[in-house]
Amino acid sequence: MRSFITAALAVLLVATGIWGYMQYQQKKALMIEAENGYQQAFHELVYQVDVIHDKTGEALAMNSKSNLTPALTDVWRLTSEAHNAISRLPLGFMPFSKTEEFLGASGDFMYKTAVRDLDSEPLTEKEYERLESLYKQSADLQKELRGVQQTVLEKNLQWIDVAHATANGEEPKDNTVVDGFNTIERKSSEFSEADVFNAAQVQKSVSDDALKRLKGKAISKKEAASIAKSYFNMDAEVTSVEQSLKGADVPFYTVVVDGQDGEEGSMDIMKKGGYPLTFTVNKTPGKSRISLYEASVKAAAFLKKHEFENMVVTESAQYDHTGVFTFTKKIGDTLIYPESVVVKTALDTGDVMGLEAQNYWKNTKERKVKKPSLTEEKAKKELHPKLTVLETHKAVVTNEEMKDVLCYEFLAENGTASYRIFINADTGKEERIEKLAEAEAGYEV
C-alpha cells in the first residue's frame, strides 16, 4: 500500500509539474504576444508622426490645388492612425490627453481644409501660418518620440513591464519612458495653449514584365558566381548558387557568399544577360571615419567599375554609420529619374554594402530628350511664391500613368525645409513634390 501511495504521489507530482510548466509556457506566450503588440503600436506611432511631419512639409511647398487636397487628406488619415496607436499603448500611469487633443485638432484642421474647393477658396494667410506651425510642432513631437524609441531599443526596455506597473497603480522601475512621454505631453500642452488650431523619390516602377525585354544570353551558375564575387569587396567564398523556382516570370540566380572576417552576403542576378538586381552584405559598420561626401565618391566609383555609366548622386542620407545614396542617369543636361539605383556604403571603411538596381533595369531604354515647350522662367512662376529656388535642372520623371514626362526640377526652400519640385516642362503642371532630408539639399550634377 505504501508503495502504491508513493507511486501515486510521484505521478501526481509529475502531473502537477507538467501542468505548471504548461501554464508557465502559456503565460510566457501571452506575454510575448502582448509585448509584440505594444512594440508594434509604439513603432507605428513613431512612423506616423514622421510621415505627418514630412507630408505637412510637402503641403507647405505645394502650389497645385490638385496635389494639396490629397496631401492634407493624408495628414488627416495619419493623425487618426497615430491616435489609434496611442490607444494601444499601456499609458494608464499618466494622462496623455493633450497629445491626443493635439492630434485630433490637427486632423480636424486638415480635414476641414481638404474637403473644401481649394480652387475657389484657397488657403488664407492665417491658415498657411497654422500649417507652418503644425509642421514645426510635429518636428518637436518627432524628435521626442525618436528619443524615447532610441532609449527603448538601447536599454532593451519591455513595454510589458510598463503594463504591469500600470495594472498595479505604480510607475515602471525605469522612468525613461515616463519621462519621455511626459515631455511629449508637456509640449502638446504648449501647442494647445498657443491656440494654433482654431476655426510622399524612388521612382514608381513598371512591372517585372519590363525585365523580359532585356537582351543577352542565358548565364550558367558558374558565371553567376563569378559575377557575384566581383561585387563583394572582400575575399568571398561562394557557398551556394540557387536558381529561382521553375515557372518564375523572370528567372534569376541567388548567390550566397561568406567572407573570411565573418561577413555574409547575397546577390540576385538575372539568368538572362546576367544583370545584377540586388546585392547586400550583412555586416554592421563600425564608427564612422569618412564623410557622407567621401562615401558618395566611393559609391560612384563602384557603379562606374560595374558599368553603370553617367550616374550622378541625386539623394543622400545617413543612418547611424551607413550612407545611402540614390544615383540617377544623366543624358546631356537632363536627369533620367526612372533609371536610378540605390547604393548603401559603410562609413567606417567606405565599402559598398548594398545595391538595389531592379528599377534601373526595368526602366532602362534608349531615350531622346526633347526640347521643353516652356522656358525655365515660365515654369518657375508655377512654384509657391514663398519658395526660394536654389538650383534648377531638367529631368525626366514618371507620372501617374507610368509615362515619361520632361520637367524642370527645382531645388527650393522656404526657410524651414528644402524641397525637390517637378514642374511639367510642356504644361506647367506640378507633377511631383518631395521634401528633402538635410543631406540631400543640393548636389553635384
Residue 287: count other Cβ atoms within 10 Å of its Cβ.
8
Three-state SS string over 236-260 comes to CEEEEEEECCCCCCCCEEEEEEECC
Residue 368 has pLDDT above 60, yes or no: yes
Same domain, 309 and 385: no
Q: Could you tell me if residue 321 is inside a domain?
A: yes
Residue 258: count other Cβ atoms within 10 Å of its Cβ.
17
Which of these, 326, 286, 271, lies nearest to 303 by C-alpha position? Answer: 326
The CA distance from 244 to 416, in Å, is: 48
Residue 285 has pLDDT above 90, yes or no: no
Q: State the cell numbers at 382.
A: 508655377
> CA of 144: how far to CAs of 41, 137, 141, 242, in Å?
16, 11, 5, 45
pLDDT on residue 332: 94
H helices of 116-199, in order, are 125-155, 159-167, 176-193
Q: What is the pLDDT of residues 328-356, one digit of tens each?
A: 999 999 999 999 999 999 999 899 988 98
Provide mean pLDDT across the span 158-179: 58
Same domain, 338 and 396: no
Same domain, 218 and 346: yes
Q: Could you tell me if residue 368 is inside a domain?
A: no
Which of 194-198, 219-223, 258-262, 330-334 comes out lowest in average pLDDT? 194-198
Q: Could you tell me if residue 270 is inside a domain?
A: yes
How many structural domains comprise the chain? 3
pLDDT band at 184 (very low <50, low <70, confident <90, very high): low
Same domain, 135 and 282: no
pLDDT on residue 393: 94
Q: State the cell numbers at 110.
A: 486638415
Q: Could you tell me if residue 204 is inside a domain?
A: no
Amino acid sitting at position 131: L
Same domain, 114 and 7: yes
pLDDT on residue 304: 95
Which residues contact residue 441 at a Cβ distance below 8 angstroms, ignoring those fewer than 6 apart?
390, 411, 413, 418
Residue 220 has pLDDT above 50, yes or no: yes
Same domain, 269 and 318: yes
Average pLDDT, the chain: 78
Same domain, 347 and 384: no
Residue with the bigger pLDDT between 175 and 135: it is: 135
Residue 395 has pLDDT above 60, yes or no: yes
Q: Could you tell me if residue 370 is inside a domain?
A: no
CA 341, distance to chain mean position in Å, is: 16
Amino acid sitting at position 146: R
Domain end call among 312, 329, 363: 363
Which of these, 226, 196, 205, 200, lies nearest to 105 by C-alpha position? Answer: 196
Same domain, 184 and 325: no
Of all residues in the chain, the percent with pLDDT exceeding 70 is 73
Residue 437 has pLDDT above 60, yes or no: yes
Q: State the cell numbers at 185.
A: 505631453
The CA distance from 142 to 200, in Å, is: 17
Most confident of 3-12, 64-73, 290-299: 290-299
Phi first, then psi: give them for residue 79, nearest 5 degrees.
-65, -35
Q: Could you tell me if residue 199 is inside a domain?
A: no
Q: 277, 269 in Cβ contact below 8 A? A: yes
Q: What is the pLDDT of residues 62-102, one digit of tens each?
A: 777 677 777 777 787 787 777 777 777 776 545 555 566 67
- Name the region of 311 (left: φ>0; alpha: ψ -120 to 50; beta: rest): beta
Q: State the cell numbers at 364.
A: 532602362
Residue 2 has pLDDT above 70, yes or no: no
Same domain, 77 and 40: yes
Same domain, 358 and 405: no
pLDDT on residue 229: 87
Q: Could you tell me if residue 129 is inside a domain?
A: yes
Q: Could you tell me if residue 162 is inside a domain?
A: yes
Residue 105 has pLDDT above 50, yes or no: yes
Helices 125-155 and 176-193: angle between axes, nearest 10 degrees: 170
pLDDT on residue 29: 62
Task: Residue 38: give the domain boundaries.
Answer: 2-193
- Name the region of 30 (left: φ>0; alpha: ψ -120 to 50; beta: rest): alpha
Residue 325 has pLDDT above 60, yes or no: yes
Same domain, 389 and 353: no
Provide mean pLDDT across the span 198-207: 43
